């Protein structure tokens, strides 16, 4: 089948590499139906793509990927995971593409790995999950990675991970026993990743690298809804000059992963314009069919729907 008769690309779609995933205890460790899908880069994944009209998945590792390892392990495991992902893409080149895992605990090696996977493997960019051992991605030590991404003209997807332990203690621990979701997709993921997006703009990285493109999932982690207020508050006296709204709308792209809300999508379209909004599911933490139904029923123009489903991704990822 197809979604609304359109070619469809989804780009926040996860898997687990056997060696890398053995280094962490994911929250889905006991949810065997999710784990079974994370472990599959073949028949099951493609069947579920076919059933929901997804033509191409840009596949990335699940959180926290290599972001919480020591430098040596991160470099070794990222390289191995990327090699194996490339093999899976080669087996299904018309259905799969890849986002690299970067060993951010070693920024210099991350630059090398990004260039290697983009140039040799045709990867479409990279995904970074949450803080790297407590450090946000806007930190100067990671700017060489941004410079390389801008040079290669590939985006970096800033994806959530379980929040920093200091934040868990201060903000969430009272509610964790009854509502573990507060730590993840219900709130903790969103707050931390929105903060990462905020900090990226304030860091000046987009002035240093005007071609740098960042992707945020989950319809921009709430930031499109807050753009007006953020922009207004940052223009009050005492703040360095910054046009947050303009920079965000120029250098940041958002996907629909795990947030199939029509009002939230309309808000994002009004604040950012249609050209920076890309379809994604967040498979297998979210399954494909609800996204397909949402897109089928969505009352936007055929042209806008085509841009969301693949037109914008084709341009951003040069597919």
Enumerate the active-site residues: 282
**Please, is 299 exposed, middle or buried when counting C-beta atoms within 10 Å of its C-beta (0-12, 13-18, 19+)?**
exposed
Rank residues 110 and 193 by Cβ distance to Mn ion and give the closer one.
Answer: 193
Shortest separation between residue 129's beta carbon and Mn ion, angstroms:
9
**Cβ-proximal residue to Mn ion, closest one:** 282
Residues 57-116 that bind Mn ion (CB under 5 A): none
Shortest CA distance to 105 belongs to which of 130, 78, 133? 133
Q: Which residues pair with 29 in a beta bridge?
A: none
Cβ of residue 137: shortest distance to Mn ion, in angstroms?
A: 16
- The CB-of-159 to Mn ion minimum distance in angstroms stands at 6
Q: What is the crossing angle of helices 223-234 and 188-202, to 10°? A: 40
Sole binder of Mn ion in the list 172, 282, 306, 312 (CB under 5 A): 282
Q: Where are the alpha helices (DSSP H) in 153-297?
A: 165-167, 188-202, 205-208, 223-234, 244-251, 262-272, 288-297
By CB under 5 A, is residue 138 in contact with Mn ion? no
Piece in contact with Mn ion (CB under 5 A), picked from 5-13, 43-51, 104-112, 149-157: 5-13
Stretch near Mn ion under the rule CB under 5 A, chosen from 12-20, 49-57, 141-149, 234-242: 12-20
Please report which helix (H) or strand (E) contains residue 83, including its range. helix 71-91
Nearer to Mn ion, 282 or 306 (CB): 282
Please say whether the beta carbons of 212 and 154 come within 8 A.
Answer: no
CA neighbours closer than 13 Å in the CB half-sphere of residue 197? 35
- Only segment of 16-24, 91-99, 226-234, 274-282 that touches Mn ion (CB under 5 A): 274-282
HSE toward the beta carbon, residue 111, CA cutoff 13 A: 12
Q: Which CB sits closer to Mn ion, 48 or 106?
A: 48
Question: Does the N-terminal peptide bond of residue 123 adopt cis geometry, omega within 30 degrees of 0?
Answer: no
Angle subtended at Cα 254 by Cα 252 and Cα 104, rounded to the nearest 5 degrees = 65
- Least separation in angstroms between residue 143's CB and Mn ion is 25
- Of 187, 58, 48, nearest in space to 117 by CA: 58
> Of 148 and 159, which CB lies nearer to Mn ion in the complex structure?
159
Residues between 209 and 248 that touch Mn ion (CB under 5 A): none
Stretch that binds Mn ion, among 6-14, 105-113, 271-279, 298-306 (CB under 5 A): 6-14
What's the closest the beta carbon of residue 308 comes to Mn ion, in angstroms?
18
Size of the site for Mn ion (CB under 5 A): 2
The contact set with Mn ion (CB under 5 A) reads: 12, 282
């Amino acid at each position: 089948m197809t979604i609304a008769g359109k070619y469809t690309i989804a780009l926040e779609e996860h898997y687990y590499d056997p060696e890398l995933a053995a280094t962490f205890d994911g929250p889905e460790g006991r949810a065997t139906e999710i784990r079974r899908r994370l472990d599959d880069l073949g028949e099951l994944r493609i069947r579920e793509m076919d059933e929901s009209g997804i033509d191409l998945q840009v596949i990335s590792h699940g959180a926290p990927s290599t972001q919480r390892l020591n430098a040596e392990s991160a470099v070794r495991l990222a390289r191995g995971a990327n090699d194996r992902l490339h093999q899976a893409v080669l087996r299904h080149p018309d259905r799969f593409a890849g986002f690299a895992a970067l060993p951010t605990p070693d920024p210099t090696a991350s630059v090398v790995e990004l260039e290697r996977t983009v140039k040799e493997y045709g990867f479409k960019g990279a995904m970074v999950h949450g803080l790297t051992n407590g450090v946000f991605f806007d930190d100067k030590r990671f700017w060489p990675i941004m410079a390389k991404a801008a040079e290669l003209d590939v985006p970096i997807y800033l994806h959530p991970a379980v929040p920093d332990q200091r934040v868990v203690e201060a903000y969430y621990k009272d509610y964790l026993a009854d509502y573990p979701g507060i730590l993840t997709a219900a709130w903790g993921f969103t707050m931390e990743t929105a903060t990462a997006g905020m900090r990226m703009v304030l860091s000046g990285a987009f002035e240093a690298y005007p071609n740098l493109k960042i992707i945020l999932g989950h319809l921009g982690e709430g930031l499109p809804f807050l753009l007006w207020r953020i922009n207004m508050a940052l223009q009050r006296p005492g703040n360095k000059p910054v046009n947050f709204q303009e920079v965000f709308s120029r250098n940041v792209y958002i996907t629909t992963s795990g947030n199939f809300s029509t009002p939230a999508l309309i808000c994002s379209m009004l604040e950012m314009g249609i050209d920076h909004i890309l379809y994604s599911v967040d498979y297998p933490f979210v399954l494909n069919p609800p996204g397909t139904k949402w897109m089928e029923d969505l009352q936007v123009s055929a042209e806008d729907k085509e841009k969301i489903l693949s037109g914008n991704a084709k341009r951003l990822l040069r597919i």
